[in-house]
């Protein structure tokens, strides 16, 4: 779905970026997926690192080098206990963003990050982790229809089966990608308008 129709902003950005298509997923779950992303190790090591309270070398080095480090999580990073492993040194920032559901939290975290960009000390390097959740929840804003129709309004997982045409379910997924892409696009435009893209590494990926 990361094409010019479904995710036009991310696709446009990819034309000037490295696109990695041969890496391996650490898991099909959030806990192991995020763990693998930051440690470069299989998720089977999660409990060992949690028991020993070992944070990723990457984040340790960034902190040692004076980076301004901020998390912007839509969903909580405490369950699964990423605050005890990956974000051990940033555990006070692991609570979910305010909002009744995922799309509201995603919009709020996007706004918060853009405010942070506007107010931060630009002489200090920064690391930010934006953890979106609306594509996971598949709950769309009431006033958002989406370009891919016909589409389910919500994910009726109980309807899925061998005799069900998955087209409307797939269109719901595409519409959620399109919606989330609009938030990512605003952030990329903001980074570029501030001249931040000239010296910032932006990684766009799914934790699964």
Q: What is the pLDDT of residues 114-123, one digit of tens each?
A: 999 999 999 9
- The share of the chain scoring above pLDDT 90, in percent, equals 86
Q: Looking at residues 64-78, what average pLDDT do you find? A: 97
Cβ neighbours of residue 8 closer than 8 Å, sequence gap 6 or more: 181, 185
Dist. CA 100–CA 95, nearest whole Å: 14
pLDDT of 207 over the 80 cut: no
User: CA 144, 97, 36, 9 torsion: positive or negative?
Assistant: positive
CA-to-CA separations, 122 to 31, 103, 126, in angstroms, rounded: 33, 29, 9
């Amino acid at each position: 779905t990361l094409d010019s129709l479904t995710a036009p902003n991310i696709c446009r950005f990819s034309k000037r970026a490295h696109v990695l298509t041969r890496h391996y997923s650490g898991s099909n779950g959030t806990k192991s997926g995020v763990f693998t992303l930051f440690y470069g190790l299989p998720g089977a090591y999660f409990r060992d690192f949690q028991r020993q309270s070992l944070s990723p070398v990457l984040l340790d080095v960034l902190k040692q080098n004076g980076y301004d480090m901020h998390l912007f999580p839509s969903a909580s990073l405490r369950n699964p206990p990423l605050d005890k492993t990956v974000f051990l040194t940033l555990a006070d920032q692991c609570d979910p963003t305010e909002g009744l559901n995922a799309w509201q939290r995603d919009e709020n975290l996007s706004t918060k990050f853009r405010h942070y960009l506007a107010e931060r000390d630009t002489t200090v390097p920064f690391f930010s982790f934006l953890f979106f959740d609306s594509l996971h929840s598949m709950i769309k804003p009431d006033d958002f229809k989406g370009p891919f129709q016909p589409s389910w309004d919500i994910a009726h997982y109980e309807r899925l089966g061998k005799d069900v045409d998955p087209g409307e379910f797939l269109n719901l997924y595409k519409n959620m990608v399109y919606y989330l892409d609009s938030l990512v696009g605003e952030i990329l435009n903001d980074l570029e308008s501030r001249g931040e893209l000239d010296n910032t590494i932006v990684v766009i990926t799914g934790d699964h």
